[in-house]
Amino acid sequence: MASSQDINEKQITGDLDSNLISNLPVEIVNHIVSFLPTKDAVRTTVLSTKWKNFWTCITRLHFDDKLIYWKNTKKGYFINFVNRVLLLATRDVDSVTLILWHNYTQEIIDAWISDVLIRRVQKFHFYYDENVSLYSSNLFNHKYLEELELRMGQCSFAVDSSDSIKNLQILKLSGITFQTNFASSKQDLVLIFRLLKIFEVEGCKWPDVRSVNIKAPLLESFSIEYPYKWGQSSDESSNPIFKIFSLSLEKLSYIVFLHDSEEIFVSKSASVRDVSFQLSAVNKDEMYQKGVKACKFLQQFDRVERMKLGSRVVKVLAHANDEMSSYLPIFVRLVCLELGLYFDLPSQEVLLNLLHKSPELRKLVFNAKAGDFDEDILMTTKEVPLCLLYSLKVVKLDMSHCYEVGLHLAKYLLERSRVLELLIVNLSMLKGNDYEVNKVAEALGSYPRASRFLTIEADFKEY
């Protein structure tokens, strides 16, 4: 049992701690309280009379209806809570996050967004999976807004052609259907962003748009993704052409179906340093056409330094192997190449073609898929790519899906890579299976090595 002296010491220590916090300058206390969830920040009013109005000066508001009420609590409680906070909180709020898991009326959503935008808010994140309508004129042209994230489920977003957006620097949009004011269908939409640096689009629809012209001189990173949904038809996935006009674009991520209407053109592609290209789905009847389109897309980026190609991209390129020689440039600055690879004969030809077109390659990353060893040109081809002779230093092989393919690739590279320093082998799927791990280790140890400075490491982490 604790003595009275111990209890008194704890009380004194607690009093000192609380006094230390209470005696801090108001600005610092407000800053600290801003890091709490808004519902907890409001609860600080019970600490003392001095803390009664501290929460009204917090600069970050975070509303999540899942955290505020449960099945036994009425939705009205959350609505009243948000209304009260937005009424009493300072106009100097710089960040607002609104996460809604339940259905609310359009009038309530409009009122909340209006209350957010009358402040000097710089960051607004809105997550909502129900049907709602938003207007670009309110969000895009806010005087202070620098970061906007809309992750929606069924959102109609009214946008005007030739919108000029002044202050936005980060824009992330998901699950939005863009509604235009075009008199007739399929016209060009022009979006002008003066300060935008990051633009991410995921699963958005553009029903009346033929092309989206993004004029953003400071844009550094652009990402577009159309995730495949089971049962989705080709007509449903038809998307516009994207034309990007930027002097600063360095990073481009492209995950699409690659139908006839889907293309990206970059006006100043020489600035792009990092390209990631994946396909959401592949129609077997369109392999060749998709392969040609993939070649034309990659043709723009002869100055790229890092490139990631998904396994479906490699697969369609394999069906247009002859076109690769004419369309694909020499990637004179490419130092890191990441490939998803199904090990069949056409994919092996794609691999060799890419290696021959990457003379300065230093790092090679493979995600090995299932393979067919009946035909093998890797081990029989005599011409060795220059990168294997003079530049390739690091290889990472993910054998978690098919270690037989990984071993075959490892053998090819070990026998030909003269300056290879590090081979990392991912065996996460074999973790705990000592027999199979030892089998892989013995195979790697038995292969001839062209490099005298090679180290082989095993990696069991799941990625």
Query: Chain-wide mean pLDDT for the chain?
Result: 82
Residue 277 forms part of a structural domain: no
Residues 307 and 399 reside in one and the same domain: yes
Residues 67 and 149 reside in one and the same domain: no
Residues 325 and 452 reside in one and the same domain: yes
Residue 286 forms part of a structural domain: no
If pLDDT is split at 50, 70 and 90, which confidence band does 302 have? very high
Instruction: Tell me the backbone φ, ψ of residue 209, rounded to 5 degrees.
Output: -115, 130
| Boundaries of domain holding 439 | 294-463
pLDDT at 330: 94
Residue 203 forms part of a structural domain: yes
Q: How much of the chain is in helix, strand and coil states, percent to nearest 5?
A: 35, 30, 35
pTM of the model: 0.83
Long-range contacts of 104-112, Cβ-Cβ distance < 8 Å, separation of 24 or more: 104/75, 104/79, 104/130, 106/132, 106/133, 108/79, 111/83, 112/82, 112/86
Helix (H, G, I), strand (E, B) or coil at 375: coil
Asked whether 222 and 197 are in contact (CB, 8 A), the reply is: no
Neighbour count for residue 207 (Cβ, 10 Å): 12
Domain boundary among 237, 272, 307: 272
pLDDT over 80 (residue 237): no
pLDDT at 141: 82
Give me the torsion for CA of 411, 413, 415, 419, rounded to 10°.
-150
Residue 21 token pair: 């916090």
Residues 88 and 126 reside in one and the same domain: no
Query: Alpha-carbon distance 253 to 251, whole Å?
Result: 7
Domain boundary among 44, 76, 92: 92
The enclosing domain of 347 has a CATH number of 3.80.10
Structural domains in the chain (count): 3
pLDDT at 16: 42
Domain boundary among 241, 272, 303: 272
More reliable by pLDDT, 28 or 280 = 280
Residues 304 and 268 reside in one and the same domain: no
Query: Alpha-carbon distance 294 to 292, whole Å?
Result: 5
Query: Alpha-carbon distance 138 to 316, whole Å?
Result: 43
Residue 281 forms part of a structural domain: no
Nearest to 194 by CA among 247, 236, 235: 247
Neighbour count for residue 278 (Cβ, 10 Å): 17
Residue 18 forms part of a structural domain: yes
Residues 155 and 188 reside in one and the same domain: yes
Q: What is the DSSP letter of 53?
A: T
Residue 238 forms part of a structural domain: yes
Residue 362 forms part of a structural domain: yes
Residues 335 and 367 reside in one and the same domain: yes
**Average pLDDT score over residue span 307-322:** 89
Residues 83 and 131 reside in one and the same domain: no
pLDDT over 80 (residue 275): yes
Asked which of 63-67, 114-118, 170-174, 183-187 is least confident by mean pLDDT, the reply is 183-187
Residues 256 and 315 reside in one and the same domain: no
Asked which of 42-46, 269-273, 295-299 is least confident by mean pLDDT, the reply is 42-46
Query: Alpha-carbon distance 208 to 211, whole Å?
Result: 9
Residues 383 and 437 reside in one and the same domain: yes
β-bridge partners, 173: 150, 201
Q: Cα dist. 20→8, 15, 283, 342 in Å? A: 18, 8, 66, 63
Nearest to 358 by CA among 315, 382, 328: 328
Residues 156 and 32 reside in one and the same domain: no
Residue 282 forms part of a structural domain: no
Residues 248 and 371 reside in one and the same domain: no
